[in-house]
């Protein structure tokens, strides 16, 4: 699980909020599976809205430019970003995300993310709560920050009791399917960069780079 600050700059955030203002929203139950629809109570930006494509591009570009996101998720493919809104009384109860998403060009959801577009002070409640073997983790991040988490978790959004919670959510199919392998490659890449900073391009650096590349060859699903 990763929390990544400042995925959107203050300027990008202003632009996203401006584009979202006065856009048509529809009930989130339209895109929920038959079980999730029982607990999903939010609104989503209508993909036919006039700024939908621009918003997609803006968020996808910000994700691609974020080194931590790219290193941690190792994205192969993304689902179109969903822009969700929760007003007072709305929430999203316990559910699991669908394993396969989309029609035609389907992706496997390995990782889910929530990019917070509202500041924590803009609403009461609305925490993203993710269960794993260590317990439940609550996330209510600053505007512009993102939480990246495994798609195979049970998670929920606590009911918003006042204000408005706006988020962008998305799903990633990773080049590295196994989370343990992804973790190893992430750790080694961080080490490799630290080694380069400390000692430059030495024989040890090249040797470590070779091992990293060979692990990628063994594990990647490009």
CA distances from 222 to 71, 74, 112, 174 (A): 15, 10, 19, 9
Contact letters for Ni ion, residues 175-214 (x by CB under 5 A)? ----------------------------------------
Contact by Cβ (8 Å): 62, 8: yes
In the complex, least distance from residue 208 CB atom to Ni ion, rounded to whole angstroms: 37
| Closest to Ni ion by CB, 19 or 111 | 111
Q: Does 110 bind Ni ion (CB under 5 A)?
A: no
Q: What are phi and psi of 70, to 5 degrees?
A: -65, -40
Measured distance CA(171)–CA(151) in Å, rounded: 8
In the complex, least distance from residue 42 CB atom to Ni ion, rounded to whole angstroms: 11
Interface pick for Ni ion out of 43, 97, 110, 127 (rule CB under 5 A): 97
Contact by Cβ (8 Å): 7, 144: yes
Contact by Cβ (8 Å): 111, 175: no
Binding range to Ni ion, per CB under 5 A, among 15-23, 50-58, 95-103, 188-196:
95-103
| Closest to Ni ion by CB, 12 or 29 | 29
| Closest to Ni ion by CB, 97 or 110 | 97
Q: 129 pairs with which residues across the strands?
A: 138, 156
| Closest to Ni ion by CB, 97 or 127 | 97
- Residues forming contacts to Ni ion in the complex (CB under 5 A) are 97
């Amino acid at each position: 699980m990763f929390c990544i600050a400042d995925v959107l700059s203050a300027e990008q955030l202003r632009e996203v909020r401006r584009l979202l203002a006065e856009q048509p929203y529809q009930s989130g139950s339209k895109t929920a599976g038959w079980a999730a629809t029982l607990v999903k109570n939010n609104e989503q930006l209508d993909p036919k809205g006039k700024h939908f494509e621009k918003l997609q591009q803006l968020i996808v570009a910000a994700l691609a430019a974020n080194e931590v996101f790219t290193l941690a998720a190792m994205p192969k493919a993304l689902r179109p970003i969903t822009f969700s809104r929760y007003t007072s009384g709305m929430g999203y109860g316990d559910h699991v995300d669908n394993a396969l998403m989309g029609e035609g060009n389907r992706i496997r959801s390995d990782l889910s993310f929530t990019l917070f577009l509202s500041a924590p002070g803009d609403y009461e409640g609305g925490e993203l709560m993710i269960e794993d073997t260590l317990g439940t983790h609550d996330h209510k991040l600053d505007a512009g920050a993102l939480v990246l988490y495994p798609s195979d978790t049970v998670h929920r959004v606590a009911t918003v009791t006042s204000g408005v919670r706006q988020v962008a959510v998305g799903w990633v199919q990773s080049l590295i399917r196994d989370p343990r392998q992804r973790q190893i490659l992430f750790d080694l890449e961080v080490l490799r960069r630290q080694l380069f900073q400390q000692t430059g391009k030495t024989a040890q650096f090249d040797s470590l780079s070779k091992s990293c590349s060979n692990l990628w060859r063994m594990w990647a699903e490009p």
